[in-house]
Structure formats: C-alpha cells, structure tokens
Amino acid sequence: MDFQVVVLAGGTSKKLVPLVSKEVPKALLPVANRPVLSYVLEQLELSNIKDLIVVVEGADAALCVGGWISAAYVDRLHVEVATVPEDVGTAGALRAIAHHLTAKDVLVVSGDLVSDVPPGAVTAAHRRHDAVVTAMICSVPVSGLSEAGSSGAKDKTKKPGRYNIIGMDPTKQFLLHIATGAELEKDTRIRKSILRAVGQMDIRADLMDAHMYAFNRSVLQEVLDQKDKFQSLKQDVLPYLVRSQLKSEILINGAPQGQQAKENGNDKVSYRILANASTPSFHELYALGPNGSAPVRRTHKCCVYIASNSKYCVRLNSIQAFMDINRDVIGEANHLSGYNFSAQNNIIHPSAELGSKTTVGPHCMLGEGSQMGDKCSVKRSVIGRHCRIGSNVKVVNSVVMNHVTIGDGCSIQGSVICSNAQLQERVALKDCQVLSLSTSVFLSLSSNEYL
C-alpha cells in the first residue's frame, strides 16, 4: 500500500522516571507482564504490517529494545532499529532517519500507545482525502476509574486532564486547530481565515492526540528540512501544518490536484468533471479564485481520524497512565493482553503456587513461577514472574514486577513495585512507587513517594 511504518519507541522518559531505568527503557515497561512496545507491534502485525522501523533514543536503550525485539519477533516481523541521540525530540528522530523513508506516506506511531484501533483506519482516512497529515485522536482517558469502587480509586479526585484543544470542521474529518502543551494555558487563538473558510468549527477539549500520524512523506521531509527548530511532531510539526493549511508553503510534489489541471485541455476537463462530481471540501472552495476559475491559492488538508469510544486507546506517558493501562489490560480491555482468561476472569500461570486460603480476585494476573503464602488476597493487580510473597499480604490495585520479594503482612495499595525490590514484613504502601535494585523497604509509606 506504499506506506512505511515508524515506531517511535522513545528512550528513558523523564516523566516515568522511577519506573524506567537504563535496563528498562520506556518501551520495555511491562504491561500485564509484556513490554508495552509489544502492544504496538502486535497491533501492527495484526494489520499485516511486516516491515517496521523502530526508533529508540539512546544507545543503551536501543540495545535493550533491539535485543528484546529480535528475541520475540524473529521470523514474524522485519524490524529495523535506529538509534538516535537522546533529547532530539520526535521530529528530530524522524529527521535522523529521513533518508530511510521512501514510500509515499509514512505512518508514525508512538511506541507507548496501547490501543486496539486498527492503524489502517488512519491510513485509509489519509488516503481518501489525499491529506498531508492525518492524526488519530481519541477521547481522553478517565484515569482512576474502577467500577469495583475500591478505596484507592475513590480517594483520587482526579478530573480528566486537558491534553489538547482540538478544532474540527462539522463533518469531523478535517483538523482546523490544535493546541498542545504550553498553549493550553494561554487563550485559544484561532485563525480567522480558517474560520471564515469553514464557516463552523467544533472545538473539543475532551479529545486528545493519540500520537499516531500518517504523513505525506515528501511533505514531512520538507517541513523537517526547512524548520530545523522543530523538536516535536506533536507540538511543532502538526500545529504548523494545521495552521498553514490554507496558505500552504509546501510544495506537494506528488501533485494530488491543482497542477494537473493546467497540463492540457482534456485533462482539465476530466479534472473538472471529477471535481464537480464530488462535494468540494472547504479547502477546494477556498483555493478557487473569486469567480470559480483555476485555483489561485495553495492549500493542503489536515485530517483527523477519531477513534470510536468503544475502542481502547491510551498512551503510557505517565505513572498514572501506567497504572491505568495495567488495570485496563487485565480488566475491561482484556482482549488486548492476548491471554486467555479463566472463568474467574483472571490469569494465574500454571506454575504459580498459591498458599491456602489465598484468594486471587477477578482482573488479576499472576506471573509464571510466583509463590504466594497463606491468606493472601490479590485484587485488580498484576504480579510478575518469580515473585515471592509471604502470607497475609494484601495487594490491591497495584503492579508488582518480576522477582519481587514481599514479606509477611504487607499491605500494598495503588502502588508500583519494580523488579528485584524487597519489602520487609508489615510494610504498608499506598500510592507509592518502589524502585528496583534490591531496595529494601522497612517503613510504611503513603501517597506518591518513591524510593
């Protein structure tokens, strides 16, 4: 289909700092005991995309990611890993690999996207309109929501945050305005020319950019070449393309329309027949001269694909998101995890050992070779491989990674415990992140601290 796929796997994100480390870059963070990158790769594989370029920031991270991919996907995918220096941003990463891009369009996916939206939907919308860029947007995840009503979730008084302000045309096909990052705090400024051309604009604050873009390759390369200040796709390139859509500065050398019309008489007629037969978008109307003669203004189209509400689509870009995704993947969005759930709606690996009177509730996952003592209770949590958990331990709404040792009588709520951590007896953790590397915890901790 003449598409190339680039997965931006990132490096060691600052936002996720207690969880990620040199050994565990962001892409390999476990979500339901699988690296988060595997969700993207599998979704792509499901769509019959076999050739990928994975871009990783930092050489160490690239080594880790590359090693993992080659172990997990040998014979299944043709993956190439590109290493870019840290802190070049998403635009910088694409600039670094621009010479490898040859296809007509490029699909750029963030490596931390956990979603079941078929990528083909984005690319199809892109092709249908001959767009310069098509962005997938999804509704803002409601964080902390859990229908079980456990205490951990209720205490959080988090309202859905604002990620983007997105303006669309009434048909919800074209992107007219997008505000990200720092712009959110300022007043929203909308171009008059765009508003006048469209006539009506829907402005939504409950949607967010899911960081899956289809770009016209030549346009992307041109923008990256000319604007070398651009750091991020999301904050620089996309808003720039959206802003300038009615006074396009880019040369579309694929020449979707416009240029063809001038070639000769017959082509012009067939072009006119085609153009008249379809309902013109506001771009075409705007491009036309005052009396409907040949196009005088250059425009390009920026499209959106809105993921339907029934689809799951969240980015793992904060610790909260990490918790939410872990919970959802073994909970309501469990078709994503790729595991078979038991009748009790949980997954207990056959090699896991459970003590007597230990209960593992629904929406839980117990990894391979883990041992649990007596009278434990696990609710809505993920426990990794080869963990040793003493007796009388309560684990609620938490993520326990691999090789963790938890002493007797611990109570863990809403926390993340990274690999190789050790918890002594009677430790109570609430909303914490416990760093790995043989940290031993003696104290009881609460609310958003990490070691």
- Give the interface with another protein as residue ranges (CB under 8 A): 1-4, 47-51, 53-54, 62, 66-67, 69-70, 73-84, 96-97, 99-100, 102-104, 118-121, 123-125, 127-128, 266, 269-270, 273-274, 276-280, 291-292, 308
Look-up of token digits 């400024």: 189
Copy the structure tokens of residue 150: 């456990």
The least CB distance from residue 98 to another protein, in Å, is 11
How many Cα atoms occupy the beta-carbon half-sphere of 166 within 13 Å?
A: 30
266/356 with CB nearer another protein? 266
Tell me the one-letter amino acid at 401. M
How many Cα atoms occupy the beta-carbon half-sphere of 3 within 13 Å?
A: 22
The least CB distance from residue 328 to another protein, in Å, is 21
Contacts of 81 (CB under 8 A, 6+ apart): 53, 54, 55, 56, 62, 65, 66, 69
Indicate the SS3 state at residue 241.
Answer: helix
76/357 with CB nearer another protein? 76
- Distances, alpha carbon 173 to alpha carbons 203, 263, 306, in Å: 13, 30, 8
Tell me the one-letter amino acid at 121. A
Contacts of 359 (CB under 8 A, 6+ apart): 376, 377, 378
The least CB distance from residue 359 to another protein, in Å, is 39
Rounded CA separation 133/175 (Å): 9
275/451 with CB nearer another protein? 275
Indicate the SS3 state at residue 28.
Answer: helix
54/421 with CB nearer another protein? 54
| Contact yes or no for 420/404 (Cβ under 8 A) | yes
The least CB distance from residue 127 to another protein, in Å, is 5
The least CB distance from residue 292 to another protein, in Å, is 4
The least CB distance from residue 198 to another protein, in Å, is 15
44/242 with CB nearer another protein? 44
Strand partners of residue 365: 347, 382
| Contact yes or no for 421/402 (Cβ under 8 A) | no
41/389 with CB nearer another protein? 41
Rg (C-alpha) for the chain, rounded Å, is 25
The least CB distance from residue 2 to another protein, in Å, is 5
25/407 with CB nearer another protein? 25
Rounded CA separation 255/201 (Å): 28
The least CB distance from residue 123 to another protein, in Å, is 5
97/148 with CB nearer another protein? 97
| Contact yes or no for 286/299 (Cβ under 8 A) | yes
